[in-house]
Amino acid sequence: MKSKPTVLLVEKIHPTYMAKLEKHARVVRPLGHEESTLASVAAGEHIDAIVIRTSGCVSRKVIEASPTLKIIARHGIGVDHIDIPAATEHGVWVVNTPGASRVAASEHTWAMILALAKKTTWADRAVRSGNFIFRNHNKAMQLEGKTLGVIGLGRIGGTVGEIAVRAFGMKLLYTDIVKYPAKEKRLNARKVPLKTLLSKSDIVTIHTPLDHSTRGLIGAGELSCMQPHSFLVNCARGAIVDAAAVAQALTSDKLGGAAFDVFEPEVPGKDHALIECDRVVLSPHFAAQTLEANLGYAGVVDDVLRVLTGKRPQWPLNDIK
């Protein structure tokens, strides 16, 4: 009887897909997420597949320690912690779940936009502290007629933009390496250069992957293009934005507010530039933490099993001949 393939599962996944994975594969769980730990397990267990979430990384060292490796599966979207060139070089598929968090991340983005525009977190604290006259000294932003600038109009960015137009009557600008003529027509959206988007938008929201072209995309120079009343929202990846520059822009009244769901490093320390900053809404990489999104993410198991039975994956990020 043929033995089951072995899957290295870096973090737990939804029970439904956990049961499916265990039915068809032997599942190995590491004792930590460090590169040396993953490489050691990969070398000693004859790993056929790796399933990773946000902790740890699948580096060249891990890949080269796994001569039997066939697929690396990202339980999520971002793959900046997977060495895709090294995987491709060694004939290893890399897959993710691109549509699983579209709704959850879009809704969370709007929760953060509304918290900034309507000052809900500050108003809540004011009432709880007995400062009811907060209302006399603060004004919210009315969204109708304002301009939303979307950096990355893909699945999530497109949904965020559609809500802006359909629900709030906003104008829509976007910047992207891809042109979306159908979305432009449907949403009356206009593609513009990044600096134009920053200077013309009342709210800027980021929905682009982290790669060499987007790392540090928004720094002091870009922030200086934004209007003093405008808001910046980042629910993409922390390293896309220079958080210290955002903090400086806020303290010098060159930016109206900011909201971050992601940080660099992943877990911000107490000395992180935004922690003590006023006019900031923060959440702990929480945008996709819904039951529905996590179930969708765990569906990457289907691609793992597809590859382990000799088939092509449904959501490949590289091309294996």
Catalytic residues, by residue number, are 237, 266, 285
Which two structure tokens, joined as six digits, stand for 13?
A: 């996944």
Which residue, 116, 106, 156, is CA-closest to 139? Answer: 116
Which residue(s) pair with 72 in the sheet? Answer: 50, 94
List Cβ neighbours of 79 (8 Å cut-off, separation of 6 or more).
94, 96, 209, 317
Are the C-beta atoms of residues 151 and 197 closer than 8 Å to each other? yes
Tokens 């969708």 belong to 296
Amino acid at 59: S
**Most distant CA pair in the chain, distance:** 76
Query: Which residue, chain included where needed, has tokens 């060159």?
Result: 254
Question: Would you give the distance in Å from CA 308 to the centre of its chain?
Answer: 28
Q: Is 172 helix (H, G, I), strand (E, B) or coil?
A: strand
